[in-house]
Amino acid sequence: MPIAHQAAAHRRLLCLLLVISAPAGWPAAAQARLAPDPTTPPTTAGLRVGLQAGHWKITGLPDDLARLRGDSGAVAAGHTEVATNLDLARRTAGLLTAAGVTVDILPATVPTGYQADAFVAIHADANSSARIHGYKIATRWRSSVTTRDVALVVALDGAYSDGTGLAHDSAVTRNMRGYYAMNTWLGDSGRISDSTPAALIETGYMTSPTDRALLFNQPDRVAAAIAQGILDFVRTGSAVDARQQRTEAVAAASPTRRSVLVISGAVPIRTAGTTTAPIAGWASHGDSLPYLDTIIRPTGPFTKKSLHGTELATNSGYYRIGMSGLTQPLYISRDAVIVQQPEP
């Protein structure tokens, strides 16, 4: 079915934020789907999307990422992950191009500071148990477009679930959110810009008979789902922009020029950075709170000294934040938020 016709079947009410079922998970499931903004013409003219084929040309990573050069991806049932990722990226690119989107198929080394309307890293998973199955989607720890990052995850999650029928695997890892091509704490080289909405999708487990039947035997179906999610996202328009502006305003008023965007429901605000500390209040998904933690910079190498290469203190997995009406030090789990930081 053409992408333009599939869109009507996949679109539902706009929901920018997600509910996370476990502290380290991203997300358990999208509770709603993105819908195009009616004030935005349904056009893709001028849009650019980057599709990274995970592990492709991994040996060409720059020196500051040399430790990853040997990570060639999973192998299962006579298939390699890199070949699977590249095939899916090319099929997805064909569908997006047909819809009028300019597409860059990117290797493991992305252009430094790469800018586009969306960046999606395509990977496949593996596990020692053939019973583990499903797909996962995540975004990074921090950026200058936090609400757009989350909107991209929601759109991809909805379209991929609907289009493939695969189960959602809630076991998103911190390594996924810390994916090198989207995060810059070791420097700027070989990473996208902070202002490019980003997501990583693990399309399924190559070690699962159920998942690989889809990945290897129905790749067009997988590609169509990814393409549809991207199209749903890029057509959302001003609703996402308005939420982004509110998040940026909270960051601008913070002494660190950063805020946290809450991406989970009923998140406890604690008096110390531990799971046993007393609860001082609660945050709801969509809340923006001032980020007040220490801002540090790890040792190099760096291509330049900028905010883009800034690392944020984790405080044992918690960030120090502000909350209206309370002056004491307060903390929120970093797994429940994305940090909004200024564009370098």
DSSP string spanning 147-206?
HHHHHHHHHHHHHHHHHH-PPBP----HHHHT-TTT--TT-STT-B-TTS-EEEEEEEET
109-131 pLDDT per residue, tens:
999 999 999 999 999 999 999 99
Kindly report the CATH class assigned to 239-340.
Answer: mainly beta
Q: What is the per-residue pLDDT for 129?
A: 94
- Residue 311: the pLDDT is 66
Distance CA 199, CA 201 (A): 7
Q: In angstroms, rounded to a whole number, what is the distance separating the alpha carbons of residues 344 and 136?
A: 30
Predicted confidence at residue 33, as pLDDT, reads 38
How far, CA to CA in Å, does 75 sit from each of 85, 94, 204, 222, 300? 12, 25, 13, 19, 33
- pLDDT for 7 beyond 60: no
Q: Are 100 and 47 in contact (CB under 8 A)?
A: yes
Please tell me which residue, 296 or 292, carries the higher pLDDT value.
Answer: 292
Q: What is the reported pLDDT for 154?
A: 92
Average pLDDT over residues 54-81: 92
Integer Cα distance of 6 and 140 in angstroms: 28
- In DSSP terms, 267 is beta-bridged to 283
Query: What average pLDDT does the segment 256-271 reach?
Result: 92
Average predicted confidence (pLDDT) for the chain: 83
Q: What pLDDT is stored for residue 45 in this prediction?
A: 73
| pTM of structure | 0.85
Q: Indicate whether 290 pLDDT > 50.
A: yes
Say what the pLDDT of residue 301 is: 54
Query: How many Å apart are CA 190 and CA 121, to the nearest integer?
Result: 13
List of residues 6+ apart from 137 with CB closer than 8 A: 26, 153, 156, 157, 160, 172, 199, 200, 201, 202
Query: Rounded to the nearest 5 degrees, what angle is found at the Cα of 112, between the Cα atoms of 110 and 115?
Result: 85
- Percentage of the chain surpassing pLDDT 70? 81
Question: Does 31 score more than 70 pLDDT?
Answer: no
Q: Which of 33-42, 268-277, 296-305 has the lowest mean pLDDT?
A: 33-42
Residue 188 has pLDDT above 80, yes or no: no
Please choose, from the candidates 300, 302, 290, the residue with its C-alpha nearest in 3D space to the C-alpha of residue 344. Answer: 302
Q: What is the CATH number of domain 3-237?
A: 3.40.630.40
Least-confidence region, from 83-97, 134-148, 149-163, 166-180: 166-180
Query: Tokens 């599939």 — which residue?
Result: 6
Which two three-digit tokens encode residue 231?
């199209």
End-to-end CA distance of the chain: 42
221-243 confidence digits (pLDDT tens):
999 999 999 999 988 766 788 88
Proportion of the chain above pLDDT 90, given as a percent: 65
Task: In the chain, list all ranges with CATH 3.40.630.40.
Answer: 3-237
Mean pLDDT of 23-44: 43
Read off the pLDDT band of 170 (50, 70, 90).
Answer: confident
Q: pLDDT band for position 300 (50/70/90)? A: low
Provide the sign of the torsion angle of the four alpha carbons 150, 151, 155, 161, taken in this order: positive
Where in the chain is CATH 2.30.30.40? 239-340
